[in-house]
């Protein structure tokens, strides 16, 4: 029996380390392809350059960095309040019968392919923006709206779990002191679940930063620094997806370097989310 347990433990360890090895190989492949051009052009020039024209030797990715920040910030502003409201309703106010229907329906949104979201944004959202707000319709706003829907299940699910993890004694004590149901939620439950909710927001942020196909379809993909929510925009992921198929030489290296920047951003967000979630566990 002990020999079998030892074998199983070693097999599981091999599987765990194989996952880490795969991550290390991916990181090595991306960094090996992207670091040389960053060194040659200079990190500051590469990151802060405003002109992206690979065929003419210009490799500034600042427009894509700013575009990613614009789109991601817009998605958080539009999506997080709705997601948090859904989580509060499902965990604190909804009946069990309603929760059994609504929660799986929200989680089902995570399984819809991103190209479907992009298609709906292209057919419905872009024409509405063009008609009522002006501009080409393909814009920061369109991409942010689509991403807000896409991050909804992630933020809602993590926030729901964080709220449900708050001990019932918090609610009962607050109600016993004469607080209303909403006061209990606002002043007792939400502060206790704050770290878990923040972890959900950071995970949603990572999803928004890394999304590609839906953003390509509605953002306009202009390599210019956006100055308003109605301007077309290109994100880091879109830049890689649009040009990697035909890029060669320094152009290809520059796209790998863009992947390096994106990789570091996603890794930082995941580390922050893990640290926040671990610190915020209710005991």
Look at residue 6 and tell me if it is in a domain.
Answer: no
Task: Read off the pLDDT of residues 96-132 as tens digits, 9 standing for 90 and up.
Answer: 888 888 888 888 888 899 999 999 999 999 999 999 9
Q: What percent of the chain has pLDDT over 70?
A: 96
What average pLDDT score do residues 159-164 get? 92
Cβ distance 276 to 195 under 8 Å?
yes
Look at residue 76 and tell me if it is in a domain.
Answer: yes
Look at residue 10 and tell me if it is in a domain.
Answer: no
Query: pTM of the predicted model, to two decimals?
Result: 0.87
What's the pLDDT band for 140 if we cut at 50, 70, 90?
A: very high
What's the pLDDT band for 6 if we cut at 50, 70, 90?
A: confident
The answer on pLDDT for 141 being more than 90 is yes
- C-alpha–C-alpha distance, residues 141 and 135, integer Å: 11
Alpha-carbon torsion, ordered 110, 278, 194, 229, to 10 deg: -50
Look at residue 8 and tell me if it is in a domain.
Answer: no
- C-alpha–C-alpha distance, residues 201 and 193, integer Å: 12
Task: Read off the pLDDT of residues 174-233 as tens digits, 9 standing for 90 and up.
Answer: 888 888 889 999 999 999 998 889 888 988 988 898 889 999 999 999 988 999 999 999
Q: Closest Cα partner for 233 from 155, 152, 147?
A: 147
Look at residue 149 and tell me if it is in a domain.
Answer: yes
Least confident of 116-125, 160-169, 264-273: 264-273
Map 182-238 to HEC letters. Answer: HHHHHHHHHHHCHHHHHHHHHHHHHHHHHCCHHHHHHHECCCCCCCCCCCCECCHHH
CATH number at residue 131: 1.10.3720.10
Give me the domain span that covers residue 162. Answer: 61-278
Say which residues have a Cβ less than 8 Å from residue 262's Cβ, sequence separation at least 6. Answer: 209, 210, 236, 237, 240
The answer on pLDDT for 283 being more than 80 is no
Cβ distance 126 to 218 under 8 Å?
yes
Look at residue 5 and tell me if it is in a domain.
Answer: no
pLDDT at 139: 95
What average pLDDT score do residues 7-31 get? 85
What's the pLDDT band for 280 if we cut at 50, 70, 90?
A: low
Look at residue 68 and tell me if it is in a domain.
Answer: yes
What average pLDDT score do residues 240-251 get? 89
Residue-wise DSSP of 165-183: TS-HHHHHHHHHTT--HHH
What average pLDDT score do residues 131-139 get? 92
The answer on pLDDT for 168 being more than 70 is yes
- Buried b / exposed e over 8-21, threshold 16 CB at 10 Å, is eeeeeeeeeeeeee
Counting other chains too, the contacts that 241-249 makes at CB distance below 8 Å and 24 or more residues apart are 241/212, 241/213, 241/216, 242/216, 243/54, 247/54
The number of distinct structural domains making up the chain is 1
The answer on pLDDT for 1 being more than 70 is no
Average pLDDT, the chain: 89
- C-alpha–C-alpha distance, residues 204 and 207, integer Å: 5
pLDDT at 10: 85
Q: What percent of the chain has pLDDT over 90?
A: 49
Look at residue 65 and tell me if it is in a domain.
Answer: yes
- C-alpha–C-alpha distance, residues 107 and 90, integer Å: 13
Say which residues have a Cβ less than 8 Å from residue 159's Cβ, sequence separation at least 6. Answer: 83, 84, 87, 88, 193, 196, 197, 200
pLDDT at 109: 86
pLDDT at 238: 92
What's the pLDDT band for 282 if we cut at 50, 70, 90?
A: very low
What average pLDDT score do residues 246-262 get? 91
């Amino acid at each position: 029996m002990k020999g079998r347990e030892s074998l199983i433990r070693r097999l599981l360890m091999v599987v765990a380390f194989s996952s880490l090895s795969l991550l290390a190989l991916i990181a090595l492949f991306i960094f090996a392809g992207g670091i040389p051009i960053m060194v040659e052009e200079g990190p500051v020039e590469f990151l802060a350059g405003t002109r992206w024209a690979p065929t003419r030797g210009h490799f500034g990715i600042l427009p894509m960095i700013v575009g990613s920040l614009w789109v991601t910030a817009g998605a958080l502003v539009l999506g997080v309040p709705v997601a948090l409201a859904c989580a509060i309703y499902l965990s604190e106010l909804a009946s069990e019968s309603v929760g059994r229907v609504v929660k799986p329906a929200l989680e089902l949104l995570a399984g819809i392919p991103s190209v479907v979201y992009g298609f709906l944004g292209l057919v419905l959202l872009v024409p509405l923006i063009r008609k009522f707000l002006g501009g080409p319709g393909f814009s920061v706003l369109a991409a942010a709206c689509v991403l807000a829907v896409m991050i909804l299940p992630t933020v809602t699910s993590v926030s729901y779990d964080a709220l449900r993890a708050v001990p019932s004694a918090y609610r009962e004590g607050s109600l016993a002191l004469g607080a209303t149901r909403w006061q209990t939620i606002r002043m007792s439950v939400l502060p206790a679940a704050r770290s878990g909710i923040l972890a959900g927001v950071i995970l949603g942020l990572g999803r928004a930063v890394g999304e590609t196909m839906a953003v390509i379809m509605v953002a306009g993909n202009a390599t210019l620094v956006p100055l308003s929510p109605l301007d077309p925009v290109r994100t880091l992921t879109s830049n890689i997806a649009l040009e990697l198929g035909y890029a060669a030489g320094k152009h290809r290296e520059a796209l790998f370097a863009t992947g390096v920047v994106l990789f570091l951003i996603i890794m930082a967000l995941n580390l922050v989310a893990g640290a926040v979630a671990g610190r915020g566990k209710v005991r």
